[in-house]
Structure 1
Amino acid sequence: MADTIVRLFDRPADALRAVDRLEAMGIKDKDISLVANNREEWYGDDGLRHDRLQAHNRGIKDDDRDGKDDRLEGAGDGATTGGLIGGGVGLLAGLGMLAVPGLGPVVAAGWLASTAAGAAVGAATGGIVGGIVGALTHEGVPEKDAQVYAESIRRGGSVVVVRNQKDRRAEIEATLSDYNSTDAGQRGDYYRSGGWNGYDASAPDLDAVQIEAERVNAGAYRP
C-alpha cells in the first residue's frame, strides 16, 4: 500500500475541495479517484449543485477573511475559491452518476471507478461499491480497510484515492487531513463499536436523514 493513499470524508464538499487541492498541487487526474454517495443529490444532470453543497460548507480555511480558501489562493485557474468547488475542468469534469443496488445513487470519477465497475460486471449484488473492495485490495489496501471504505460510501460518505505518489505521501496525507478526512482505522473502530462486521452488499442504503445522523454519531464517537 506504499503508493496508494485512501481517505474518507463525511461531507461531499470536503472531498471535492480535497480533489481540487490535489490537482492544484500538480497531482495528475489519472492518479486520483473519487467515489461518493449522492443520496443528498449534490450532483445532478446539470453538474454540481452548489446550493446543496453549501449545506456542507465546513471545510473553508479563511484566516484572512477574504471569502476564499487560504489553502488555494494563488493555486491557479480551476482551484476552489469563494467556498465553491470547481467542476468544469480536471477530474471533477468527469463525474458520472451510477445507481447501485443496496447503496443508492453514487457519483464517481477516475481510475478506481473504472476498475471497480469492471470488477463488478456480472455480480449479482454489490455493484461498483463491492467492486471497489476488490479494486482497492488489488492496489495493496488491506481488505479490512477496503471494506471500511466501501461501508463509508454506503453510509453517505465520499472516498478519495491517490496512487503513484510514494515520494509525496506525507504531503498528500497532510493535505487530505486539512479537509476533515478520516482513515479506515478510526472509522472502522466506530463501525465495529455498533456491531458492524464487514461490508454487506445486501444491506439497505440510507436516506438523507439517516446519513446526517450517521455523520453526527461518527463525529461524536470516542474510542
Structure 2
Amino acid sequence: MTRTITRAYDDYASAQGVVNQLEAAGVASSDISLLGRHEKADNDDSNAGEGAGIGAAIGGTAGLLAGLGLLAIPGVGPVVAAGWLASTLAGAAAGGATGGIIGAMTSAGEDEDSAHYYAETVRRGGSVVSVRAQESQAAEVEAIMDGATPIDREARLAEYRQSGWSRFDESAAPYRYGAI
C-alpha cells in the first residue's frame, strides 16, 4: 500500500537537501514532489514558460531536481516545482482549472485543511516536499524528512491565524515579506 508523506520547510535549501537525501536512500524520483516559492518572485518578471532550464540553475543536475520547472500559481505567484504534484499543477493550469496547490494536494490524499496550510506555506516563501511511499519504506522516508527539521505545523498555523488567516485564498495577491 502506498501513502503520501508531506512536510513543509521554511526555505528551498532545506527542501532541496531532503530531496537529495531521499534519492540517496533509494526513493525513486518519480515518487518525490517539490513545490517552493521562486526566490526572486517579488522582483522577477519570469513566466511559467521560462522554467525549462531552471533545474540546473536552482539546485540539481540529476534526479528530481533536474526536472524543476517554473509555474505561475494563482495567489502564490511563480513557484519552482518538480515531480508528480508539479504535473498535476501544470495540467490544471493548462486546462484552466482552479484549485492550484489545494487541488493538487487533495488529489494526492491530503485533507483540505492540510492542503490549505501547505498552499499558504508556499505562498509565504516556504517549500513542500511530498513523497508517495510504500509502507515498507515509510518509516525511513519520515525519518529523513523529520531529520531536516520541518516546520512545526501547529505552531505555524497558530501564527497564521493570529494574523487573521483562516484559509488559503487563491484570489489574493502573492505574499510579500514585510508588506502590511
> Counterpart amino acid of 2:36?
A
Alignment-mate amino acid for residue 35 of structure 1: L
Residue aligning to 2:144: 175
Tell me the number of residue pairs that the alignment of Structure 1 and Structure 2 aligns: 168
Measure, in 1, the Cα distance between the counterparts of 2:103 and 2:55.
Answer: 31
1:119 and 2:88 equivalent? no
Q: What amino acid does structure 2 have at the position aligned with 1:34? A: L
TM-score (norm 2): 0.82
- Looking at structure 2, the residues matched to 46 and 174 of structure 1 have their Cα atoms a distance apart, in angstroms, of 26
The aligned amino acid for 1:95 is L
* Secondary structure of residue in 2 paired with 1:160: strand
Supply the distance in 2 between the matched residues of 1:29 and 1:112 (Cα, whole angstroms).
12
How far apart in 2 are the matches of 1:168 and 1:185? 26
Deviation at 1:181, TM superposition (A): 1.0
User: Is 1:161–2:130 an aligned residue pair?
Assistant: yes
Using the alignment, how far apart are the partners of 2:155 and 2:4 within structure 1? Answer: 18
Identify the residue that residue 88 of structure 1 maps to in structure 2: 61
Which string of whole-angstrom CA distances, capped at 9 and with x for unpartnered residues, describes residues 94-119 of structure 1? 00112334322210000111012223
Offset from partner CA, 1:139-189 (integer Å, 9 cap, x none): 221100011001111101111000133222222122112222125444323
- Identify the residue that residue 100 of structure 1 maps to in structure 2: 73
Corresponding letter in the other structure for 1:193: Q
SS at match of 2:178: helix
Contact 1:37/1:106 (CA < 8 Å) preserved in 2? yes
Gaps of 5+ in 1: 50-84, 212-223
- 1:24 Cα deviation from its structure 2 partner: 0.2
8 Å CA contact 1:145–1:185 kept in 2: the answer is: no
Q: Note if 1:31 corresponds to 2:31.
A: yes
2:57 corresponds to which of 48, 51, 59? 48
Contact 1:137 1:143 in 2 (8 A): yes
1:10 corresponds to: 10
Q: Which amino acid aligns with 1:190?
A: E
Give the direction of change, closer, same or farther, for the CA distance of 1:46–1:17 in structure 2 (3 Å limit): closer
Aligned counterpart in structure 1 of residue 118 of structure 2, from 136, 149, 153:
149
RMSD over aligned Cα atoms: 2.5
- In the alignment, structure 2 segments of 5+ residues that lack a partner are 42-50
Partner residue in 1 for 2:107: 138
Question: For residues 48 and 176 of structure 1, what CA distance do their matches in structure 2 show?
Answer: 24
Provide the C-alpha distance between the structure 2 equivalents of 1:164 and 1:171, rounded to a whole number of angstroms: 10
**What TM-score, normalized by structure 1, do the two folds share?**
0.67
Cα shift readout 1:24-43 (whole Å, capped 9, x = no counterpart): 000001100001101336x9
Q: 3-state DSSP class of the match of 1:205? A: coil
Q: Which has the higher helix share?
A: 2
